[in-house]
Amino acid sequence: MFVQGSARGAYAYDEDGRRYVDYIMAYGPLLFGHTEPALVRGLDDVARSGFVWGSTHPEEVRLAERIRAHLPSMERIRFATSGSEAMMSAIRVARSFTGRDRVLKFAGNYHGHFDFALVAAGASASGAGGIPQSVHREVIVARYNDLASVDEQARGVESGIAAIAVEPIALNMGLVAAEPGFLEGLRDRARRWGALLIFDEVITWLRFGLGGAQGRAEVIPDLTALGKVLGGGVPIAAFGGRSEVMAVLAPDGHTFTGGTHAGNPFCVAMAHRVLDLLESHPERYAAMDALAKRLADGTRAILAQRNLDYAVVQQESVVDCKFRAGPAGRNYDDARRADVDAYAAYHRKMLESGILLPPSQNEVMFVSTAHTAGDIDQTLDAIEKSLPSA
């Protein structure tokens, strides 16, 4: 088992100081690798006035305004500490606004580790022990990229649905893009049913650019949850949406969300640093994408030599390859057909070759701005050594 001792740039080091090219990247937040100088420099100055205040402050408001400039659908914003909290709060807001309890979600999407979210969850969530039956009764699970499944699962209870929650680009059952028309279909159904559409952009925002998945899909959700890259490695998250919807929150409304560390000045300052970097260096995205393409193309070439019919999916800085023959997956049924034992053996061999991959095939490989062409080539050499033959 890999036990981490330290980290630097694109690398994780084990307890004995052995170096690994890291593609877990803390499961998403580390867009700039572990120790980007622009993020870690001068932290004493940031910490000088303390870590947490418990009162609203101008930098928090300024951060909300910066986020809204990129995601105009987030007319009003509240900060939280984790993506789980942001999604949990967004769902509470939707329930309060609609006066309904049920939530429709997709098998293989992951929205965090609170009760609702773990029903049929992807990522590394294994099992839903401890979740009350009453929660199961409030959740409707549909198949991703399948509007017929949405209609079938919702039939007869449409008027009881508070929200449709979705990852607009799914990254917790491997990388599965929403097919053309899917998000539009959800938007349309939410409107017809009087439900709210919640985009979980906890991974996608900033990973896929400043406009997030909603910018490129041109589908406007009622509520959005953010996290991960926003803090560049420190825990900060946010949720927000239409003003009239967010108005249910106290003190204006009768719905409470909170959090001792929510909006704390230290994490807010880090989020400003992340936005400073991305707004002033958009070229960093192109460099990451080129490296990820090199990795994806190289992997495809090795698979072809071995006659292995596994799809390699790449979207910008994310690369995904499943041990499953046939075209790229469209939903969780596809993801679950991957060969767990073959991947486990591959994972072990890659580790021996100095490459740190996520242990579950539901997770993806994250390339960061700290990775280099040399890292990618080392990874491709390791793939050559580690992949089985057909």
Ligand X SMILES: Cc1ncc(COP(=O)(O)O)c(C=O)c1O
* Binds ligand X (CB under 6 A): choice among 212, 227, 232, 263: 227
DSSP secondary structure code for residue 67 in this structure? H
- Binding flag, residue 320, ligand X (CB under 6 A): no
105 is catalytic: no
110 is catalytic: yes
The active-site residue out of 144, 228, 310, 332 is 228
Least separation, in Å, of the C-beta of 6 and ligand X? 22
Concatenated DSSP letters of 186-241:
HHHHHHHHTPEEEEE-TTHHHHTBTTHHHHHHT---SEEEE-GGGGBTB--EEEEE
Q: Which residues lie closer than 8 Å to 163 by C-beta, 6 or more apart?
A: 90, 91, 94, 95, 98, 103, 104, 190, 195, 196, 197, 198, 222, 223
The active-site residue out of 146, 200, 222, 375 is 200
End-to-end Cα spacing for the chain? 27
Compare residues 109 and 369 and give the one whose CB is closer to ligand X: 109
Least separation, in Å, of the C-beta of 172 and ligand X? 5
- Binding flag, residue 172, ligand X (CB under 6 A): yes
Tell me the C-alpha distance between 257 and 9, whole Å: 36
* Binds ligand X (CB under 6 A): choice among 84, 331, 360, 362: 84
* Binds ligand X (CB under 6 A): choice among 73, 82, 98, 264: 82
Q: Which residues lie closer than 8 Å to 344 by C-beta, 6 or more apart?
A: 359
Tell me the C-alpha distance between 247 and 263, whole Å: 19
The interface region with ligand X, picked from 130-138, 199-207, 317-325, 351-359 by CB under 6 A, is 199-207
∠ CA 280-281-284, nearest 5°, is 160
Give the closest residue to 346 by CA, choosing from 313, 294, 293, 302.
302
Position 186: which residue type?
L
Least separation, in Å, of the C-beta of 108 and ligand X? 11
Least separation, in Å, of the C-beta of 198 and ligand X? 11
- Binding flag, residue 27, ligand X (CB under 6 A): yes
Compare residues 113 and 300 and give the one whose CB is closer to ligand X: 113
Which secondary-structure segment (H or E) carries 315? strand 310-315
- Binding flag, residue 167, ligand X (CB under 6 A): yes
- Binding flag, residue 202, ligand X (CB under 6 A): yes
> How many residues can be counted in the chain?
390
The active-site residue out of 110, 285, 310, 332 is 110
Least separation, in Å, of the C-beta of 29 and ligand X? 8
- Binding flag, residue 203, ligand X (CB under 6 A): yes
* Binds ligand X (CB under 6 A): choice among 7, 9, 36, 83: 83
Least separation, in Å, of the C-beta of 77 and ligand X? 17
Tell me the C-alpha distance between 205 and 224, whole Å: 10
13 is catalytic: no
The interface region with ligand X, picked from 60-68, 198-206, 340-348, 379-387 by CB under 6 A, is 198-206
Compare residues 263 and 298 and give the one whose CB is closer to ligand X: 263
Residue labelled with tokens 């409030």: 138
> Residues touching ligand X: how many (CB under 6 A)?
15
Q: For strand 196-200 and strand 223-226, is the pairing parallel, antiparallel, or unpaired? A: parallel
Least separation, in Å, of the C-beta of 91 and ligand X? 12
Tell me the C-alpha distance between 221 and 224, whole Å: 7
Site mask for ligand X (CB under 6 A), range 101-140, x = bound: ---------xxx----------x-----------------
Compare residues 84 and 98 and give the one whose CB is closer to ligand X: 84
- Binding flag, residue 200, ligand X (CB under 6 A): yes
Provide the H-helix boundaries in the chain.
37-40, 43-47, 58-70, 83-98, 133-138, 147-154, 182-193, 204-207, 212-217, 243-246, 265-280, 283-305, 332-335, 340-352, 373-386
Q: What residues act catalytically?
A: 110, 200, 228
Residues in the site for ligand X, rule: CB under 6 A?
Answer: 27, 82-84, 87, 110-112, 123, 167, 172, 200, 202-203, 227
